[in-house]
Amino acid sequence: MALQRQELEVFGNEALETWTKLGQGGFGSVYKARHKDWGFTVAVKLINNANSPPSSLLSKDSLSMCTALREAGHMGKASCEFVLRVYGFYEGTPPIEGVGMPYQGIVMELMEMDSVLKLLEKLAESPQRPLALRIVHEVALGMNFLHSKDIVHQDLKPSNVLLTDDLRVKLADFGLSRVSTSVLITSEKTAETGGTLAYMPPEAFDPKYEPVRAFDRYSYGILLWSIFNGKEPYKGRPDVLVKLWVKKDLKLPLDEIKNPEELGEMIELMERCWNSTPEMRPPFKDCLKTTEEVFLRHKSGIRAAVDGILNPLDSTNSGKPPESEADSHDTIDYPLITEQNSPGVPTKILTVERKAKFVTDNIPVLIQLVSAVLEIAKELGDMVHPEVLSRIQAEKTSQDKMRLFHSRILAPAGGRVKAAFFDALKKHEPALVKKLGG
């Protein structure tokens, strides 16, 4: 289906200053730069052009690049809350040390919180259920909007689902799929692919294939699997095997999803989306009926789920130096009056920093020996989300309970949460704390 052309503004070095590299991907490098007139920072994605000699913007391949980027101008039509805003194009030689050749690129909204992929890597598992459901619902909202504008994303995957500073979704790179298949692909290994292999439908490996909306619907099904499993599909497997499995329509396993009984409708939607018959995949307008209904059932827990990631007590990423013992005025716990603490025996006083270090240093032993995991989790109150508490309770062994407690609560937490865990541990298992020197 033909897209209406829409001209976007072209920016050069006269408009952008203070360039800083943010990262690099398959399409090129991403920088942030300050727009001199607008007064705020934007993102600039410089597109790789391996076929073009560095001598001139006017080479045949460079002209092809410009044409492809301008054809991606339909990105300018995609003004939506859940779609990354595109301001225009960049043309010029970036004022960056070591870069001595002209580039073309796309100037877009800057996102500081990175992507769903980075979130999954940080958590090493699926986000808490309310947040996971909000993410997949907002992805469906964004994709429904793009399809309503006759835009096929063709590269929907966790790294292209960006997150705002309050973890709301912004879809990115939906205009670059055409660039990737027209002038960017140079290696035989990926020449017939316009997106990441695992997220591509089987029919996309046909050399004569023309992407349609069903492509994105399949990718969405794989994205659902990735978010609810907390990992990328086929991670670490050779591309040749992934391609073979996708072409043979070998489905991803569903038995690794935690508490699948809570996701009955979502798992059914997942399977409908990755159906091998393109016509059987539901349009995003239909997907929204399911994603909205399921998310609303969990919406009450969204604030706690978001805060658990953005606002851990005493975040280790805050850049604030740890308090010294002499400066700490509110970090000393009161001695517990138990059978182990008689009035005549002095109680060891520990700061938050020392308590946290005790927990961190002894995690392997604690996972094996702590038996009162549920009691400790309840002791921490609001620091443990009810959904996580329920999952801990569902685990069969103390070791599994403690492993889950560590991965969801202790590992991403700062010093105060670990100190609170220490206090609860000392209350419920004083002998173990004493044995470990606490």
pLDDT computed for residue 157 by the predictor? 94
Exposed/middle/buried for residue 192 (C-beta within 10 Å: 0-12, 13-18, 19+)? middle
**pLDDT band at 74, cuts 50/70/90?**
low
Distance (Å, whole) CA 310 – CA 208: 46
Structure tokens at 365: 């032993």
Higher-confidence residue of 178 and 234: namely 234
pLDDT computed for residue 391 by the predictor? 86
Higher-confidence residue of 383 and 195: namely 383
pLDDT computed for residue 140 by the predictor? 97
**Range in 65-74, 109-118, 201-210 with the lowest mean pLDDT:** 65-74
What rounded mean pLDDT belongs to the chain?
78
pLDDT computed for residue 345 by the predictor? 39
375-397 pLDDT, tens digit each: 999 998 888 888 888 889 888 88
User: What are the distances in angstroms from CA 120 to CA 227, 229, 257, 314, 316?
Assistant: 7, 9, 14, 22, 18
pLDDT computed for residue 285 by the predictor? 96
Whether the per-residue pLDDT at 154 is higher than 70: the answer is yes
pLDDT computed for residue 341 by the predictor? 40
**pLDDT band at 214, cuts 50/70/90?**
very high
Q: What is the mean pLDDT of residues 42-67?
A: 54
Whether the per-residue pLDDT at 338 is higher than 50: the answer is no
pLDDT computed for residue 25 by the predictor? 63
Whether the per-residue pLDDT at 330 is higher than 50: the answer is no
Model confidence pTM above 0.75: no
The values of phi and psi at residue 36, to 5°, are -60, -40
**Range in 68-72, 143-147, 215-219 with the lowest mean pLDDT:** 68-72
Higher-confidence residue of 90 and 414: namely 90
Distance (Å, whole) CA 118 – CA 179: 24
Beta bridge partners, 10, equal 89
pLDDT computed for residue 382 by the predictor? 80
pLDDT computed for residue 64 by the predictor? 44
Cβ atoms 119, 131 nearer than 8 A: no
pLDDT computed for residue 54 by the predictor? 37
pLDDT computed for residue 412 by the predictor? 76
Q: What is the mean pLDDT of residues 348-368?
A: 84
Whether the per-residue pLDDT at 414 is higher than 90: the answer is no
pLDDT computed for residue 149 by the predictor? 84
Higher-confidence residue of 216 and 30: namely 216
pLDDT computed for residue 286 by the predictor? 96
Residues 6+ away with beta carbon under 8 Å from 140? 220, 284, 287, 288, 291
Closest CA to 291 of 112, 82, 121, 60: 82
Which of 37, 61, 155, 327 does the annotation list as catalytic? 155
Is 61 among the residues known to form the active site?
A: no
Whether the per-residue pLDDT at 308 is higher than 70: the answer is yes
Distance (Å, whole) CA 317 – CA 50: 38
**Range in 165-179, 330-344, 394-408 with the lowest mean pLDDT:** 330-344
276-307 pLDDT, tens digit each: 999 999 999 999 999 999 999 999 999 988 88
Is 427 one of the annotated binding-site residues? no
**Range in 174-178, 278-282, 407-411 with the lowest mean pLDDT:** 174-178
The full set of domains in the chain, from first to last, is 9-50+60-109 (3.30.200.20), 114-180+194-310 (1.10.510.10), 352-436 (1.10.533)
Sign of CA dihedral 15, 149, 203, 156: positive
Whether the per-residue pLDDT at 71 is higher than 80: the answer is no
**pLDDT band at 364, cuts 50/70/90?**
confident
Structure tokens at 51: 């076929």
